[in-house]
């Protein structure tokens, strides 16, 4: 019989992980997998469990939790010699990765699509010695997202990031930035740099509308140093998908980049505090096979 592992963050989504665990296990067994359960208790657990699944050459790994849990699981699998099929069951506040793959945000519906066993290969981003699935961001606005209180994210969802970001914008902290890629070098003062792997960022699916989950590209948007009123005028462009077309935004589509600054900047990786600059980022094209809805 094929072997599988279900990784569950029991505290995700107001502890919905506990509610849906039995249904997920039953579904995976119906799919023909002998399935063992692993519950996370702290940071890094999902990564270690996923790495164990790779080392043991299991056939399938499913992760149930928010973007943080999914990110950890993929960090455990990326660039391993054996990478099992992957499935995700979203329980978090934003669930960007699930949105990008058109996976239902309702956990029960997301579990149900696993039974179809329809998969596609998707990209994984690499930044220095870590991996990401949605976004790398640099700037005071990006730092706002990993300082946003959990209670506020739970209550307001994506709006919480906007509100926290606007607070930071009052301080207006531009930074010197140098970005080198196969398209050349960009240097200047920036307010924010976004490196998107998918079209869904912070719950908004129009920030990087051109981004596909397996196009082999990093979609880079550098918002230049502009006055607060000009920045506020960019917000509607986020909703319409026109952010990359603004004269105040430098837009690159590249497989690889290096970014550095004379300022002490910290990259936000999939919503959490990450590496300090300088960073090297690359797209690992079609690196992971994942179960998705049939229409894909």
What CATH number corresponds to the domain at position 64? 3.40.50.10330
Q: Is residue 6 within 8 Å of 25, Cβ to Cβ? A: yes
Q: What secondary structure letter does DSSP report for 201? A: B
Q: What number of CA atoms fall less than 13 Å from residue 15's CA on the CB side?
A: 0
Cis peptide before 277 (omega within 30 of 0): no
Is residue 177 within 8 Å of residue 112, measured between CB atoms? no
Same domain, 192 and 241: yes
Q: Are 74 and 86 in contact (CB under 8 A)?
A: yes
Q: What is the pLDDT of residue 158?
A: 46
Domains contained in the chain, number:
2
- In this structure, the answer to whether residues 174 and 246 fall within a common structural domain is yes
What's residue 218's pLDDT? 97
The pLDDT of residue 39: 96
Domain boundary among 63, 90, 117: 117
From 113, 89, 119, 104, select the one nearest 291 (Cα to Cα). Answer: 119
Residue 202 confidence (pLDDT): 63
Cα 77 to Cα 156: distance, rounded to the nearest angstrom: 32
Q: Which of 91, 117, 143 is the last residue of a domain?
A: 117
**pLDDT truncated to tens, each residue of the chain (296 aa)?**
899 999 999 876 556 667 799 999 999 999 999 999 999 999 999 999 999 999 999 999 999 998 889 999 999 999 999 999 999 999 977 788 899 899 999 999 999 999 999 999 999 999 999 999 988 989 877 766 555 555 555 554 544 555 555 565 555 688 999 999 999 999 999 988 999 998 876 666 666 778 889 999 999 999 998 887 787 777 767 666 677 778 889 999 999 999 999 999 999 888 788 889 999 999 999 999 999 998 75
In Å, what is the CA distance from 163 to each residue of 149, 207, 220, 272? 11, 17, 23, 17
107 in the same domain as 244: no
* pLDDT attached to residue 169: 58
- What six digits make up the tokens of 180? 């080198």
d(CA 91, CA 20): 10
Q: Look up the domain containing 8 and give its range.
A: 2-117
Q: Is residue 125 part of a domain?
A: no
User: What is the structure's pLDDT at 53?
Assistant: 98
Asked if 100 and 147 sit in the same domain, the reply is no
| Token digits of residue 56 | 């043991």
- pLDDT score at 243: 74
How far are the Cα atoms of 186, 196, 258, 261 from residue 136, in angstroms, in the given order? 17, 7, 12, 15
| Terminal Cα-to-Cα distance of the chain (whole angstroms) | 28
Give the helix ranges, DSSP H, for 56-89. Answer: 67-77
Please answer whether residues 211 and 194 qualify as being in contact, where contact means their C-beta atoms are separated by less than 8 angstroms. Answer: no
> What pLDDT score was predicted for residue 241?
67
Is 236 among the domain residues? yes
List residues bridging with 121 in a β-sheet.
289
Q: Is the dihedral of CA 123, 128, 129, 134 positive or negative?
A: negative
């Amino acid at each position: 019989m094929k072997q599988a592992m279900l990784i569950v963050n029991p505290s995700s989504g107001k502890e919905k992980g506990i509610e849906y665990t039995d249904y997920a296990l039953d579904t995976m067994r119906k799919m023909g997998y002998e399935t063992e359960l692993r519950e996370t208790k702290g940071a890094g657990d999902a990564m270690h469990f996923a790495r164990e699944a790779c080392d043991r050459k299991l056939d399938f790994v499913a992760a149930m939790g928010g973007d943080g849990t999914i990110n950890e699981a993929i960090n455990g699998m990326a660039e391993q010699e054996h990478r099992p099929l992957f499935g995700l069951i979203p329980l978090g506040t934003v669930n960007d990765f699930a949105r990008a793959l058109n996976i239902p945000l309702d956990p029960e519906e997301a579990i149900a699509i696993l039974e179809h066993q329809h998969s596609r290969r998707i990209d994984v981003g690499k930044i220095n010695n870590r991996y990401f699935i949605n976004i790398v961001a640099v700037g005071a606005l990006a730092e706002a997202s990993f300082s946003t209180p959990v209670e506020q994210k739970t209550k307001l969802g994506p709006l919480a990031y906007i509100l926290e970001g606007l607070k930071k914008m009052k301080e207006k902290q531009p930074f010197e930035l140098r970005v080198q890629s196969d398209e050349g070098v960009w240097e200047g003062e920036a307010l924010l740099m976004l490196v998107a792997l998918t079209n869904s960022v912070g719950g908004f699916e129009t920030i990087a509308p051109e981004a596909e989950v397996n196009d082999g590209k990093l979609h880079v948007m550098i918002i230049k140093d502009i006055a607060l009123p000009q920045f506020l005028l960019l917000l509607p462009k986020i909703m319409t998908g026109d952010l990359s077309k603004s004269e105040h935004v430098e837009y690159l589509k590249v497989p690889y980049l290096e970014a550095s600054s004379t300022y002490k900047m910290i990259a936000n990786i999939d919503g959490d505090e990450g590496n300090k600059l300088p960073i090297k980022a690359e797209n690992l094209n079609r690196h992971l096979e994942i179960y998705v809805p049939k229409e894909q």
